[in-house]
Structure 1
């Protein structure tokens, strides 16, 4: 058996529930693939990353892929970058819709955030566009507050994982392009040309990134982003004997193509 968890987005309570459901179904040492986007929008990015690090350190067979939000967090702390060309709206990472503000608030105290931005509501409202002075001050605070271990962990985790005749990625693939030629941007950002494709990818692709109301099996791919980043419930899933199931407190429910 193999378990999989979609985008957590800083909701540690949702992650804890998912882990409890998996433990009840398969045991504490069940192998799990996490599909990335551990930070942004939710209030507990720091605790979410620490939970995953602690699990791996304890020897749990956890594979943690990296998503675009994790990379945006890493790039801000290490390089001061808030913009990304993949965001069509032009919004920056510190806009409340992207959620970088909540990630910083999970590491940095309210008083320091207020001093850097002049805002009482930064953790809720964000600050985008961000004046250069505030941007520099926030990056400096982040570099002091974010453990280097968290940054190194993001840099070191895989961008895809292959097992059980499945390919696990955060976002998806450029259709028709060999895996070896897929870029990090493809694997962590792609939507156009991917989510509307019914092509046979030669393997079942399991991904997150594009939020749904509930996980969906599309026949050639499975999307497990159930929208936890938008206040919906994180839904873990399990692959058992070639069949997929979602998990909740009542047990398993079959996840079938377009079912």
Structure 2
């Protein structure tokens, strides 16, 4: 873990209005995109970090587990079937999972777009040959259902769009500013960028999100951004929330830069 980068929040004390309840520790993990090795390193750090913690602990995964990276299958298997550190685990739906389910459920039909969006790499991680993938673009839903284990599809169907814990709200992309958390639309929670990213508003809770790549984790008074572009040669990032503190951890990508 020598390559792992860690740093504490740099926000001034006057902004520290958000907190996690006493005795509780929450970890949020950004967009994974099929990068199992980096995920394993981050989970190992969390497990080690929890050894001295005696209270409750939560892990929140912010979505986009699949597509683009080398091992979507391994990531889904790890999250859906294997033991994870922490007491409670919350899995959010990203826009990539939403697109896949729309294809499977007949709400979208453009298999070529999904394949260019990272779907080809996902299917290849399940052992499907590139030639078969490209020849099946018109019937991609059928190929997805034939390829993915039922447990993986069930995992994807059970993903949540938002989770709130104490003074924080967790969503894949963010929220629509000016609307209460209870009135947020699923599409915004999975797809929004601006006006959310540029908003200086108090959203009622600090929003922890991924979806939009930034060079470093975004540490703002009203939001925390954790997509640091692991699939694009950046890193896989997480934040530990405890009391009023924020501690950031980033694992550099081992893969080549995107596009390949």
Q: Which TM-score band applies after superposition, normalised by the shorter structure?
A: 0.7 to 0.9
Contact 2:57 2:86 in 1 (8 A): no
Q: How many residues align?
A: 224
* CA RMSD between the two structures: 2.5
The structure that is strand-richer by fraction is 2
2:109 and 2:32 map into 1 onto residues whose CA distance is 21
TM-score under structure 2 length normalisation:
0.78
Q: Aligned runs of 1:159-238 on 2, under 5 Å?
A: 159-238=161-240
Cα distance change of structure 1 residues 60 and 44 upon mapping to structure 2, 3 Å threshold = farther
Contact 2:235 2:250 in 1 (8 A): no
TM-score under structure 1 length normalisation:
0.79
Contact 1:35 1:169 in 2 (8 A): yes
Matched, 1:61 2:85: no
Q: Tell me the SS of whatever aligns to 2:189.
A: helix
In the TM superposition, residue 59 of structure 1 has moved relative to its aligned partner by 8.5
Matched, 1:24 2:43: no
Cα distance change of structure 1 residues 114 and 35 upon mapping to structure 2, 3 Å threshold = same
Cα distance change of structure 1 residues 155 and 115 upon mapping to structure 2, 3 Å threshold = closer
Which of the residues 78, 97, 114 maps onto 1:93?
A: 114
Which of the residues 73, 79, 93 maps onto 2:100?
A: 73
Which of the residues 45, 54, 68 maps onto 2:72?
A: 45
2:68 and 2:250 map into 1 onto residues whose CA distance is 23
> 1:131-187 CA distances to partner (integer Å, 9 max, x unpaired)?
xx6421x33222111122222221212111111211011001111112222111010
Q: Find the counterpart in structure 2 of residue 10 from structure 1.
A: 34
Q: Tell me the SS of whatever aligns to 1:235.
A: strand
Contact 1:239 1:245 in 2 (8 A): yes
More displaced, 235-244 or 3-12? 235-244
Task: For structure 1, list consecutive stretches of 5 or more residues without a partner in the other structure.
Answer: 85-90, 119-132, 250-259
